[in-house]
């Protein structure tokens, strides 16, 4: 299973159809197996607002009521997942859309105080192997199984890490709405563990990015050789993103 590249896709890559072809080109590079996990926060926000369902975030995670969970699953496992898989297929990368609930791919424990929100506890890669065996790219929505088999909202960054660890990924790339982690007025090429902690403590890195960086650091510490936070610029052949490192940069 070595050689798998895992991409978590969010932000412009989901919102801008002009980026699907560059994303497909990125996925084709390397010749080994790839896996895409996606978010879809802006679409969820629009649907929740249209339905007058209140929502809020706690340290980067969306607190999710039962009513909101129905919308989250409809948006992620339906609208976003099928559109992304179809777009990549049109761009020359045959893809099959899955939910992390399918085949019990991700089973999650509930996060206290957030309603129907979970963090990955067990990962079964059999559904991924079946898709790869057919010659397709798996595109995974992060909605997962809760303790009683119910749908739970798992942060896509954490779902991507859980799957990357389970498949023994060599590379984990977080594609979002920023071209890298910004320290001061520019995105940095590398970010060490101590830089991460300092920047979160002083508020330079906050909110969803703080969660993303912490998850990326967890990925490095779990032994994934290459972990990168990147954005549109990477897909367009410009800035490749911020590589997250466990140790100090010399």
Give the integer Cα–Cα distance in Å for 153 and 82.
18
Chain Cα centroid distance, residue 246 = 20
Q: Are strands 186-187 and 137-141 parallel, antiparallel or unpaired?
A: unpaired
Cβ neighbours of 69 (radius 10 Å): 20
Buried b (16+ CB within 10 A) or exposed e, 169-197: bbbbbbbbbbbbbebeeebbeebbeebbe
Is 41 annotated as catalytic? yes
**Catalytic residue status for 212:** yes
> Residue 249 to residues 177, 189, 190, 218: CA-CA distances in angstroms?
25, 11, 8, 17
Q: 248: which 2 tokens?
A: 């100090």
Distances (CA, A) of 90 to 93, 105, 150, 201, 206: 7, 26, 33, 44, 37
* Given 10, 39, 40, 41, the catalytic residue: 41
Q: Which of 10, 39, 40, 157 is catalytic?
A: 157
Q: Which of 10, 208, 212, 241 is catalytic?
A: 212
Q: Mapping DSSP to helix (H, G, I), strand (E, B) and coil, where does residue 223 land?
A: coil
- Decide if 11 is catalytic: yes
Cα–Cα distance between 17 and 134 in angstroms, integer?
Answer: 26
Which residue out of 10, 11, 39, 146 is catalytically annotated? 11
Task: List active site positions.
Answer: 8, 11, 41, 157, 212
């Amino acid at each position: 299973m070595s050689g798998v590249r895992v991409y978590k896709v969010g932000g412009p890559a989901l919102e801008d159809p002009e980026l699907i072809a560059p994303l497909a080109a990125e996925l084709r590079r390397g010749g080994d197996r790839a896996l895409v996990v996606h978010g879809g926060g802006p679409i969820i926000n629009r649907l929740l607002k249209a339905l007058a369902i209140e929502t809020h975030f706690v340290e980067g995670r969306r607190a999710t009521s039962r009513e909101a969970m129905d919308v989250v699953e409809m948006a992620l496992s339906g609208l976003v997942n099928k559109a992304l898989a179809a777009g990549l297929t049109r761009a020359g990368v045959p893809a099959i859309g899955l939910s992390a609930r399918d085949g019990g791919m991700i089973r999650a424990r509930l996060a206290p105080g957030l309603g129907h929100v979970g963090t990955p506890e067990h990962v079964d890669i059999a559904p991924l192997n079946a898709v790869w065996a057919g010659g397709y790219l798996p595109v995974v929505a992060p909605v997962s199984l809760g303790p009683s088999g119910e749908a739970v909202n798992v942060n896509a960054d954490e779902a991507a890490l859980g799957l990357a660890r389970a498949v023994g990924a060599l590379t984990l790339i977080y594609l979002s709405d920023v071209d890298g982690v910004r320290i001061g007025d520019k995105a940095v090429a590398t970010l060490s563990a101590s830089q991460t902690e300092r920047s979160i403590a002083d508020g330079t890195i906050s909110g969803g990015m703080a969660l993303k960086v912490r998850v990326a650091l967890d990925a490095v510490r779990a032994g994934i050789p290459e972990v990168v936070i990147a954005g549109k610029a990477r897909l367009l052949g410009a800035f490749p993103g911020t590589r997250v490192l466990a140790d100090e940069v010399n």
